[in-house]
Structure formats: C-alpha cells, structure tokens
Chains A and B, each alone.
Chain A
Amino acid sequence: KAGVTQTPRYLIKTRGQQVTLSCSPISGHRSVSWYQQTPGQGLQFLFEYFSETQRNKGNFPGRFSGRQFSNSRSEMNVSTLELGDSALYLCASSLVYFASGTLNTGELFFGEGSRLTVL
C-alpha cells in the first residue's frame, strides 16, 4: 500500500510569508505526527493529531499550527516565516490501538519530508 506522502517536497519562501505543508498518511493510520529537523536543533517534535484532535504539542511558538481532517490527512502551517524556520519537515503516521486501558500509538511511518528554505 502507498506510504506517507508529503507535499510539496521542496519549497522556497521569503521571510514574513506563510507556508502550508500537507501530509497524507498510510490508509488506516489515524495518528499523524509532525517533526522539524535542522542541523542545529536535530529532530524536534511539533505536534501529534488523532481523530482531528491535537493530542500533544512540542515546544514551538504559536506561528506553528496544524490540523487534521476527517480522512486523517493533515496539514501544518507556519506563519510569518523566519530564517530559522528553514528545515526539513517530516510527517509520520501510525496505527492506534487500545491496550492496557489506554490508547497506544504503534511504530511511526515517515514520509520523505518537505524541505523548506526561507530567504
């Protein structure tokens, strides 16, 4: 079956602009997580969505937002872009299962990422 699809793969923006990145999860996966990867900060967790609800959020300013649609597809938005937002943005999807009285998230399946360059 098809893997996680992220679009666009590459994009260039200028400071102050905004950007929207899209992620289509593997069919049947209802959890979608977003990560930012930069050489200086490494791989940082942005947020995780399940059933159109944000369940967890990393330590990023409010300029970073996301949402999930009823078909589990997700988008993330970065407004008022800064140079430091240049990064590889990775999306990952996973199955969610109920065990030991809690909802658990399975292994993550990553897309190839969207590489954002802010000039």
Chain B
Amino acid sequence: SQQGEEDPQALSIQEGENATMNCSYKTSINNLQWYRQNSGRGLVHLILIRSNEREKHSGRLRVTLDTSKKSSSLLITASRAADTASYFCAPRVLYNNNDMRFGAGTRLTVKP
C-alpha cells in the first residue's frame, strides 16, 4: 500500500478563482481517487481516475493523471465558499488495493 502526498498543504483563494492541488505517489497504481472533507465530517468521494486515463471531468472538477511522473492534479474551477474543505488523494496500488491510505491533504480556503 502507499499513500499520496498532497501539495500545497494549504491554499487560500478568492471566490471565483481556480484552485489547483497536486498529488504525488511512489508506485504503480490501478486508479487514483480524490476525496473532500469538510471540517470534522466524513470524507466524500469526488472523482476516480484510472491508470489508463489522462484526464477526467466532473462538473467544476478536472483531474489529470501523469503515470510517468507519478502525479495527479485536481483543479476546481470558479471556486465557491462552499468548496472550503480539505482535499485528499488516494492512490490505489496494483494488486493490493484493499487498503486506501491518505496523506495530509490540502486545506483549501475560499474567501467570499
């Protein structure tokens, strides 16, 4: 198993701006998932990108995956105050994807 490492640790932007956060991992993956956590709550699944995909969209979310660099990025466009949360990536390792580990996350603050 492995965990992703998110970067930056914290990000503060104005409403309407775009937010980009990055994730790096170390070994080959089956897929990579992004989750959001509002303060003190459970995590919510945002999007899954498979190892054979390079880009995926879901609403205002855009995720890219570069398996050669072992990295992924999450872009939130036209951010809103409600997007304020912590964001975690979770790489799913090939052949051992039954435990999912999370990094420290990126704490996003969107100011109204």
Contact = CB atoms under 8 A, between A and B. Distances in A.
B45 interface: yes
A31 B105 contact: no
A16 to B, nearest CB: 27
Interface in A74-111: 88, 90, 92, 102-105, 107-111
Interface string A40-57: 001111001010000110
* Interface secondary structure of A, over-half rule: strand
A44 B102 CA distance: 7
Interface string B50-78: 00000000000000000000000000000
Interface in B90-104: 90, 92, 95, 97-104
Contacts, number: 63
* Interface secondary structure of B, over-half rule: loop
Interface residues of B, number: 24
Nearest to A31: B98
Nearest to A90: B42
Contact of A107 (B33, B41, B101): B33
Nearest to B96: A56
Given A88-B40, A110-B43, A112-B42, A43 B48 contact: no
Interface size class of chain A, counting residues whose CB lies under 8 Å from the partner chain:
20 to 34
A26 interface: no
Given A43-B88, A43-B105, A90 B43 contact: yes
B100 A55 contact: no
A68 interface: no
B88 A105 contact: no
